[in-house]
Structures are given as structure tokens and as C-alpha cells.
Structure 1
Amino acid sequence: MKILAFAASNSKQSLNKELARYAAGLLDDASVEVLDLNDYELPLFSVDREAQIGQPEPAKAFLAKIAESDALIISFAEHNGTYSAAYKNLFDWCSRINKKVYQQKDMILLATSPGPGGAARVLEIAKTSAPHFDGVVKASLSMPNFHDNFDVESGRIKNNEIKEQLIHAVQALLA
């Protein structure tokens, strides 16, 4: 099984990238590729810009990575209650190339933040919208208080209850 994991964030020190990497690592027999959205940076989407430049290569490359995978693990950063601008922009460009951005892939959707909300609002948006773009959401999990529940140095979840919930969520990819 080939897993594509990424944070829906362009932060170089993304908490969500740590969580996505950890979650993907829970699948023993899987081949995992962790993407960095900084490798898919694009100009701000507009129909005028699209008319000028057409379909940009980074968006095509991102869609190709999804196509090559068997399943997705996405961890969403929450910016003012919704997607990060970097992810939303990449998604907008991709959806102009292929409205079925997620290409019928099984997905685990995650979110975390430093605070008690755990980016739950953006996670709910993602869960609701993914099926409209051909995503098959198998499970989701919000992890609150990232720094209290995740040891960055060891790259592991410290909270056993959250760890068990994440293991259960990730195993849904194998069902």
C-alpha cells in the first residue's frame, strides 16, 4: 500500500506535518511519502491568472502524487477557523484541473493545534467537503493541545488515549 501523507499547511515547522508523518508511520507494511506543500507553491488563484498561465505544473504534479497513491493521510492546520491559505490555493488550482481532486482515494483526515480546539472546525469542513471532491473519508481525528500530547523530540504521541484513537483511525485504511 502506498500512502501519501501531508499537512495542509506551508509552515516549515508544521505541527500537522508531524502528526501526518506519525500517523502514516503506524502502517507497518506501507510505503509512505510525506509531501511538503512548499514544494507546490503557486500564485494566488484567480480566473484571470488561470487564463494567463493555464494549468501550472506544481498543481499537475500534486494531482499526479495523489493519483500514484493508494490512500491519503492529511492533517489540517486551522487558520481563522478554516483551511490555511497555502492549502486552499493549491486545492483551488488542482480543482480546476480535476474536480475530483482526491481521485476516489481512501482518506484519514487529521487536525491539531497548540490550543484546546485541536483545529476541529477545519477538520469538520474537510470531512464535509472531501466526498464532493471524490475523497472517501475512512476516519478522522482532532488532537487538541499538540505540545501537551505529542513529544516532538521522539516524534511520538504521549497521550495513550489519543494514540489508541489514532491507531484505530489509521487501521480504517486497511479495512
Structure 2
Amino acid sequence: MKVIAFAASSSSTSINKQLVTHAVSYLADANVEILDLNDFELPLFSEDKEKAIGQPDNAKAFLAKIEQADAVVVSFAEHNGSYSAAYKNLFDWCSRINPKVYQDKAMILLATSPGPGGAKNVLAAAAGSMPFFGAEVKGSLSIPSFYDNFDLAQQSLVDDSLNGQLQQVMSAL
């Protein structure tokens, strides 16, 4: 199984990238590629920009990565209760090329934040909307209070209950 995984964040120190990297470690037999949204940087989407430049190569490249995968795992950063600007912009460009951005792939949706909310707002938005964009959502999980529940040195969850929940969600792939 070929799996694409990424954090929906452009931060070089993304806690969501740490979470998604840990999560895919439970997919022992999978061929996993972890993407960095910074490799797919695009100008701010607008219809005027689209008319001027057409379909950007980075959006096409991102869609090609999804096309080549059997499954996708995303961990969402929450910015003011919603998607990060970097993810939303890439998604907007991609949806203009293929409205079914996730191309009927199996998906696991994750989210975390430093606070007790665990980015639940953005996770709920993603879980509710992704099926309209070609995602077959197999499971989702929010990890609250990242720095209390994740060992940075070991790059793993320290809470047994959360760890079990993560393993169960990942087993849906």
C-alpha cells in the first residue's frame, strides 16, 4: 500500500508533522511518503490569478502525489478555528484542477494543538467536508495538549489511551 502523509501546516517545527509522522509508523507494511507543504508553495489563489497564470505546476504535482497513493493521512493545524492558510490555498488551487482533490482515496484525518481543544474545530470541518472532495474518511482523531501527550525526544505519544486510539484509527487503512 502506498500512503501519502502530510501536516496541513507550513511550519518548519509543526507539531502536526510530528504527529502524522508518528501515526504512519503504525503502517508497518506500507510504503509511506511524508510530504512538506512548503514544497508545494503557490501564489494566493484568486480567479484573476488563475486567469493570469493558469494551473500551477505545484498544484498539479500535489494532485499527482495523491493520484499515485492508495491512502492519505493528514494532520491538521488549526489557525483561528480553521485550516492554515498554506493548506487552504493549496487545496483551493487543486480543487480548480480536480474538484475531487482526494480522488476517492481512503483517508485518516488527525489534528493536534498545544491546548486542550486539540484542533477539534478544524478536524470537524475537515471530516464534514472531505467526502465532497473525493475523500473516503476511514477515521479521525484529535490529540489535545500536544506537549503534555507527546514525548518530543522519543517522537511518540506518552498517553496509553491516546496511543491506543491512534493505533485503532490507523488500523482502518
In the alignment, what sits opposite 2:26? 26
**Partner SS for 1:26:** coil
Structure 1: distance between partners of 2:101 and 2:152: 31
Q: Which runs of 4+ in 1 moved over 3 A?
A: none
Q: Which amino acid aligns with 1:29?
A: D
Following superposition, the deviation at residue 99 of structure 1 comes to 0.2
State the partner residue of 1:59: 59
CA deviations on 1:79-123 (whole Å, 9 max, x unpaired) are 000000000000000000000000000000000000000000000
Q: How does 1:3-22 map to 2 (within 5 A)?
A: 3-22=3-22
Q: Kindly state the Cα deviation for residue 154 of structure 1 after the two structures are TM-superposed.
A: 1.1
Tell me the distance in 1 between the aligned counterparts of 2:26 and 2:15: 17
Cα drift, residue 147 of structure 1: 0.4
SS in 2 for 1:12: coil
Q: Distance in 1 between matches of 2:99 and 2:70?
A: 19
Structure 1 position 152, deviation (Å):
1.3
User: Which ranges in structure 2 are unaligned for 5 or more consecutive residues?
Assistant: none
SS in structure 1 opposite 2:167? helix
Deviation at 1:153, TM superposition (A): 1.3
The secondary structure found in structure 2 opposite 1:125 is helix
Q: Could you say what secondary structure the match of 1:72 adopts?
A: strand
Q: Which residue of 2 aligns with 1:166?
A: 166
Q: How many angstroms does 1:35 deviate by? A: 0.3
Match of 1:150 in 2: 150
How many matched pairs?
Answer: 173
Q: Give the root-mean-square deviation of aligned CA atoms.
A: 0.4
Shift of 1:135: 0.2
Q: What corresponds to 2:74 in structure 1?
A: 74
**How many angstroms apart in 2 are the aligned matches of 1:152 and 1:51?**
45
For 2:36, the equivalent position in structure 1 comes to: 36
Identity of aligned residues (%): 62
How far apart in 2 are the matches of 1:118 and 1:41?
26
1:36-80 deviations in Å (ceiling 9; x for gaps): 000000000000000000000000000000000010100000000
Unaligned runs of 5+ in 1: none
Query: What's the TM-score once normalised by structure 2's chain length?
Result: 0.99
Paired with 1:48 and 1:153, the residues of 2 have a C-alpha distance of 46
SS at match of 2:73: strand
